[in-house]
A and B are shown apart, each in its own frame.
Chain A
Amino acid sequence: MSEPLIRADHAAKRYRVLKRQRSTLRALKALLGPDKLTMEYWALRDISFTVQRGEKVAVIGRNGSGKTTLLRLVAGILDPSSGSMEVAAEPLALFKFWIGQNADLPVIDNIYLFGAVCGMKRRQTEPLVARILESADITALGFAPLRDLSLGQRQRLALSIVFQAPADFLVFDETFVHVDQAFFRECNAFFVRLAESPRTMILTSHDHGFLKKYCQRAIWLDKGRIRRDGPAADVIAAYEAEEK
């Protein structure tokens, strides 16, 4: 068997969160005395799994179960506090669709900017601009400042760029929430292509129907630990049974 794309070995992630609102006096007290200003919060504990190239993996769990933190570790945005997380390729990660956009600039400039974030050079993005605008249904707004677009339009724009990106490894965190029906068809078409391709994908979503349709495998996180890892249909069914 080939080398896995992701190998997590007892990975854990600890955040330091403030116990109370910070003030200079409290910070000084914390420096001089035993009473610390922050406390430890373990978002993930003892996470071990591997993902092979080409797998489509759903990460499910309640809010605060550690899904986003896990994806941030996979994307290399955060380092594990203990254990290890080895990822053989850098993914195209989409956590919030407005990241990598500049609201003061026209839409077209933002296509180049976000295109670069998605791994595309200017000369690769240039022939795709018209298609991206059309896909996002904002053809007439190419030269409008991005801030004049609605949030929905900005989301469609970001996703339309991602759909054109040549990435082999994709990470999505609740990216498709609030997408309207018309654009959802575009999303579906993209995921059908993705499901048939050798590309790897890890995503979180609360839309279990969507996850079952496009992922073969699911990892269920519960309070920062892996509760179950297996075929998507089985894991999601078990999760739904417990949630009822």
Chain B
Amino acid sequence: MNRRAFASRFGARARRLARPANRTILLEMVRANIKASDYHSFLGGTWSLIGTAVMLASMYYVFSRHFGRGIPGYPLYLLTGIIMVNFFITATSYLLKVLSYNRDIALNSTIPRENLVLATISINAWKFAIELAICTVISLAYGFYTWRSALLFILVLLSFLALVLGVGLALSLSFCFARDVEHVWAILARLFLFITPVFYSLESLSPTMRALISWLNPLAPFLDAFRAVFMRGGTLAAPVLLHCLLSGTLVLAAAYLVFLRWEGEALDRT
């Protein structure tokens, strides 16, 4: 595809996305997805949170003696890590199949493909929002939460959602070309639970490991930022915040451009 054709496609897509009618479709799709999911009812929502609670309890039982010492509010420290990494794993795993599962819709309706992506992630985002609300309540109970936390939270959350969407878009494209991506991602995603400081602190690692995880694991700065929100009254080192903002924005922008360029070929091969 030449540059002119790509620019024309980008422009046409932007115009379509900006239409008020498209916002109505997206809103109805999100509403329908949440209503059709378990999270719609109180009992269904409770069941989905039990998984997180069980994971928190078992991790606390196993790791609190070793890694919890010296970390005030260790249960909240764990919970923040679990929900953030869990959201990343589940949302990207859902997004991985978004093009392939919705091929029929993508090829037989004028619903923009971006809507399919956003509607798919909305179910996970809804659960994530509930869990973040619980974190906020616990943080308030500990006395950690401040107005500064709230301001930082908005920036960090938006950057994190951008990162998740970007990774998800890239995965959804690659899954159309190679089905093995699903298996590879399942293994990698599980690894994130261990290579991200969910139950340990970066300070407990050697300087080399600390540097490796801080700079090579895309989730590490975000987890630090979320913990700054919930546990440090919104105090976050400027380079970490910049890292979050840049990585979220750049990953989403790059993935979206690649998505626009390759979505047609990807759907051909699905």
Contact = CB atoms under 8 A, between A and B. Distances in A.
Interface of A: 15-18, 22, 24, 27, 38, 72, 75-79, 90-93, 95-96, 99-100, 102, 104-105, 109-110, 112-113, 115-117, 119-122
Interface string B245-270: 00000000000000000001100110
B4 to A, nearest CB: 11
Contacts of B28: 112-113, 115-117, 122
Nearest to A27: B178
A121 B22 CA distance: 10
Contacts of B264: 78-79
Given A16-B265, A99-B105, A105 B16 contact: no
Query: Chain B interface: which size bin?
Result: 20 to 34
B269 A38 contact: yes
Interface of B: 5, 9, 12, 16, 19, 21, 24-25, 27-29, 31-33, 35-36, 104-111, 177-180, 264-265, 268-269
Contact of B268 (A17, A109, A121): A17
B16 A117 contact: no
Contact of B24 (A38, A90, A93, A116): A116
Contacts of B5: 79
B24 A77 contact: no
Contacts of B27: 116
A104 B36 contact: yes
Contact of A100 (B105, B107, B177): B105
Contacts of A77: 106-110
A109 B32 contact: yes
A92 B110 CA distance: 8
Contact of A95 (B32, B109, B268): B109
6 contacts: A15-B268, A38-B268, A99-B108, A105-B36, A116-B25, A121-B24
Given A18-B269, A112-B28, 19 more contacts: A16-B265, A16-B268, A17-B268, A22-B269, A24-B180, A77-B107, A79-B5, A79-B264, A91-B110, A96-B104, A99-B109, A100-B111, A102-B32, A105-B35, A105-B36, A113-B32, A116-B21, A116-B28, A117-B25
